Amino acid sequence: MQLLDYTLGGIIEKYAYETPDQEFMVYPDRDLRFTYSEFNKRVNKLAKGLMYTGVMPGDKVGIWANNVPDWLTFMFATAKIGAVLVTINTNYKLSELEFLLKNADIHTLCLIDGWRDGDYVNMIFELIPELKTHSRGALKSGKFPVLKNVVFIGQEKHRGMYNTAELILLGEHLDELELEDAKLKVNPHGVVNMQYTSGTTGFPKGVMLSHHNILNNGYSVGQCMKYTANDRLLVCVPLFHCFGCVLAVCAIISHGATMVITENFDPLMVLASVEKEKCTALYGVPTMFIAELNHPMFDLFDLSSLRTGIMAGSLCPIETMNQVMTKMHIKDIIIVYGLTESSPGMTATRTHNSPEVRSTTVGFELPNVEVKILNPETGEECEDEEQGEVCCRGYNVMKGYYNNDEATQKAIDDEGWLHSGDLGIKTEEGFFRITGRIKDMIIRGGENIYPREIENYLFQLPQIEAVEVAGIPSAKYGEQVGAFIKLKAGQSLAEEEVKEYCRGQIARFKIPKYVFFVEEFPMTASGKIQKYKLKNIGLQLLEEQGIEVK
């Protein structure tokens, strides 16, 4: 497969010129529709507005929002002017947002009013009180010296913030030639997107991805599903994840196809939208498909237009896979495996593979990507069926971690191989199977959680002497967060107090589902904690308490 050499802005302009009346984006709940031509015009207006407020090539523009219609406008507007879009997890709370704003050197932050139990506007006023005293575009924050603008995505007006409509109006003051000049300077190999992930070690790090990385990864995965311009993808996964902004958006734009979007995941809305818009493709993690299949109104909807899609995040039970292929008509569903650092796809099953292969493996290499299983001790390539670390090399490997050369060098070796931290084998048939993790990462319902981050937060509780966080197996989510706490002598602490301490401060999915108070931790002879043993200790303690693991 030949790699594409477009920028994100260039590919949108290609289809705005070639198929201007083709639908690009549809929000079925409000019948909001944009053709490629209409969307491209709005992107250009917003791009000029961002330039007018001082956003320069290389500047970091954070977006903190669920799947609202202008999420994609900001994605492509920043791409056209050479800025870098930094996607922010909608679950983030105060301490996480503060870390990201500093670590990413955010110049302009774009946000909605809030999501679920998070009030973004109040949070940002708490973090940046100067917003209420400085005029828009003239922000001077002691805590965030790089931050110059805050933009509210919507019509409402807030002190110290622009809103989307104002940005577009301001853009009218800029000559069209200035935008054209900016677009000419954008390089397909330049960084266009930064996503924060726990990576293979340490605290969340900004993964730098180029136009070339993500556009070609989306294109490759789209080819695996045999996408054409006639396909209509129902997007119900978050756009701030690679799953949304690469495997969905970049797969669609590289084929000139259509996206049907829901702002949040709701199984009923998904089913109704598929029927209304005659969608041909649907994405999700296994828990999403299970929620759709088990919805009491499932049988009322006509899903016969569906043909293909992606299931990712964790392995799918073969029974669920069979139901998705038969009851939901998604005969050509595929599995994609990878990580943010690999843009994200490195392997995928294909439409002709059996349901068993799609349930028990993650397929084989994507075109133009090399994948090997390497012995973590020796670095030698493993034989078939021999367990080792999954590593990949190719156009999809990230540019590196932002301002973190040390972590980049640990993740990518001298020969260009990205080390995933995942354990796997290559079968004799050539398929890859993920068997575990070298790293301590917890994956809960597709969300990556790094234990150290939660441990450091909980360690601030004065009653705690030591704390270890590990994944507890869960049928529904794959893993749940378990906190193992050793208290200081004479101190007491209740499970609910630990959870309450976390609420509003760290994302809800990171809050420990289970809290265990222990006297000691399993140790090696050299005194190192054997974190992998905590899982079984947790399961044993839950069984003794008569608590069913869900």
The two domains 33-197 and 442-544 share their CATH topology (first three levels equal): no
What integer pLDDT is reported at residue 227 of this predicted model? 98
What integer pLDDT is reported at residue 199 of this predicted model? 44
Q: How many CB atoms lie within 10 A of CB 463?
A: 13
Angular region, 139: left φ>0, alpha ψ -120 to 50, beta rest: beta
pLDDT tens for 397-455 read 999 999 999 999 999 999 999 999 888 999 999 999 987 777 677 888 888 787 878 88
> Among all chains, which residue has been given the structure tokens 């001082």?
54
pLDDT tens for 44-102 read 999 999 999 999 999 999 999 999 999 999 999 999 999 999 999 998 999 899 999 99
Angle, nearest 10°, between helix axes 164-171 and 36-52? 80
Helix, strand, coil percentages (3-state) for the chain, rounded to 5, are 35, 25, 40
Question: Residue 203: is its pLDDT beyond 80?
Answer: no
Task: Find the range with the poorest average confidence among 12-26, 360-374, 463-477.
Answer: 463-477
| Alpha carbon distances (Å) from 429 to 129, 359, 361, 379, 420 | 60, 15, 11, 23, 22
Looking at residues 211-239, what average pLDDT do you find? 98
Q: Which residues contact 56 (CB under 8 A, 6 or more apart)?
A: 82, 83
pLDDT band, residue 526 (cuts 50/70/90)? very low
What integer pLDDT is reported at residue 200 of this predicted model? 41
| H helices present in 82-163, as ranges | 94-103, 120-127
Bridge partners of 479, per DSSP, are: 473
Give me the count of residues in the chain.
550
Domain 442-544: which topology?
Answer: GMP Synthetase; Chain A, domain 3 (3.30.300)
Any idea where the domains of the chain sit in the sequence?
33-197, 442-544
Question: Residue 466: is its pLDDT beyond 90?
Answer: no
- The CATH number assigned to the domain with range 33-197 reads 3.40.50.12780
**Strand pairing report for 23-27 and 258-261:** parallel
Task: Find the range with the poorest average confidence among 133-142, 147-156, 234-243, 448-457.
Answer: 448-457
| Alpha carbon distances (Å) from 160 to 48, 104, 382 | 20, 21, 57
Q: What's the mean pLDDT when you consider all of the chain? A: 93
